[in-house]
Amino acid sequence: MDWHIRFSDEKGCLLLLDQRFLPNREDWFECTDTASTIYALQTMVVRGAPAIGVTAAYGCWLAAREAAGEGWEKRLETLLTDLENARPTAVNLRWAVRRMRAARDARPGLDHEALCAFWLELAKEIHEEDKRLCRLIGTHGATVIDDGDTVMTHCNAGALATADYGTALGVIRGAVDAGKRVEVIANETRPFLQGARLTAYELHKDGIPVKVACDNACSLLMKRGMVDKVVVGADRIAANGDAANKIGTSGVAILARHYGIPFYVAAPLSTIDRETPDGDAIPIEDRTPREVTHVGDHQITPDGVGVFNFAFDVTPAEFITGIVTERGVLLPPYSESIARAFAEREAEESAR
């Protein structure tokens, strides 16, 4: 499903499958400048940490193109800051903008035209890189799934949340590709219903057996022995292994611990933020109340009643069985395994 993020050379814009309307409509949203890219990020036209990172990389190119003219360098910095601050929790947004900036700074003296050309190629490289990393996550993650498992997942960490294949769903796809029989329980994921709308949409298209469960059915399903593993994605993982994911994930992890069910987080190293020491330091996005008060255009709460709409919560590292990355399955203590994974990657990059 790598077609949901496309760069159009013909139109000179980024095309995003508008996830707000799935599974009923497949509409396309055009990002033509910084404002439209920020709008797409904030309104969930595109969501999922790796997909946000890919979108932000192209957004840097759009910002550079938009800044053309005298004094373009100063305008570009303002646009990049706006883009980087579009959403607070998913660290891949900041990671992508910083990576684009660092690549530019390593090539001083680029004029406007040269920078635009360089950044477009780098954005395309980041796009392809994410596809490759998700396949590796799937390959490593397949080792923690047994033939015949029923896997519960929360939110959507599939192809729609990445450039292709997915992280949590990449683990499931990797197991299926390895010849294992796998069934999936997709928690509906209120209030935006990513599980019901997006995860079920993806898996059904792939022919992978999936059933949607209400979020508050987790305990009953686990108690009845209907869940063998839990695999979720992440929007930011702290240096100690605490993982921020869609609201409700920590509750699923606590239930999994109670019932003795392995709980895995799947994410690329780019989602691990070594500048964030633990989960308490992860900013939690507070979104518009309308996502809770309405389903589509239908209001479901009384006028004047307040709501909570925190978009994420943090699962403590102690509840996580393993973190599946492109470099393998990281195990506790995570402060050590995370540091080792980065050190090994950096050593390999230095040797090239």
Percent of the chain's residues with pLDDT above 70: 99
CB-facing half-sphere around the CA of 208: CA atoms within 13 A: 29
Going by pLDDT thresholds of 50, 70 and 90, the confidence category of residue 349 is confident
Going by pLDDT thresholds of 50, 70 and 90, the confidence category of residue 1 is low
Percent of the chain's residues with pLDDT above 90: 96
Q: What is the rounded average pLDDT of the residues 26-42? A: 97
Interatomic CA distance for residues 169 and 98, integer angstroms: 27
**Number of residues written out for the chain:** 352
Over residues 108-164, the pLDDT tens digits come to 999 999 999 999 999 999 999 999 999 999 999 999 999 999 999 999 999 999 999
* Positions marked active-site: 235
Model-level pTM? Answer: 0.94
- Cβ–Cβ < 8 Å for 311, 287: yes
Over residues 87-97, the pLDDT tens digits come to 999 999 999 99
Question: What local confidence, expressed as pLDDT, does residue 3 receive?
Answer: 78
Q: Which residues are annotated as a binding site for substrate?
A: 47-49, 87, 194, 245-246
For residue 341, the tally of other CB atoms under 10 A from its CB is 19
Q: Which domains does the chain have, with CATH numbers?
A: 2-135 (1.20.120.420), 139-351 (3.40.50.10470)
Q: Check pLDDT > 80 for residue 352.
A: no
Q: Write down the mean pLDDT value for the chain.
A: 96
- Cβ–Cβ < 8 Å for 94, 55: no
Over residues 73-87, the pLDDT tens digits come to 999 999 999 999 999
Question: What local confidence, expressed as pLDDT, does residue 296 receive?
Answer: 85
Question: What local confidence, expressed as pLDDT, does residue 2 receive?
Answer: 55
Q: Which residues are annotated as a binding site?
A: 47-49, 87, 194, 245-246
Interatomic CA distance for residues 4 and 37, integer angstroms: 15
Contacts of 263 (CB under 8 A, 6+ apart): 229, 230, 232, 252, 253, 256, 257, 315, 319, 320, 321
Strand ranges, E, within 61-182? 150-154
Question: What local confidence, expressed as pLDDT, does residue 275 receive?
Answer: 96
DSSP string, 266-303: E--GGGEETT--SGGGS---B--THHHHEETTEE-S-T
Over residues 304-332, the pLDDT tens digits come to 999 999 999 999 999 999 999 999 999 99
Contacts of 148 (CB under 8 A, 6+ apart): 180, 181, 182, 228
Over residues 232-255, the pLDDT tens digits come to 999 999 999 999 999 999 999 999
Interatomic CA distance for residues 15 and 12, integer angstroms: 10
Between strands 298-299 and 294-295, the pairing is antiparallel
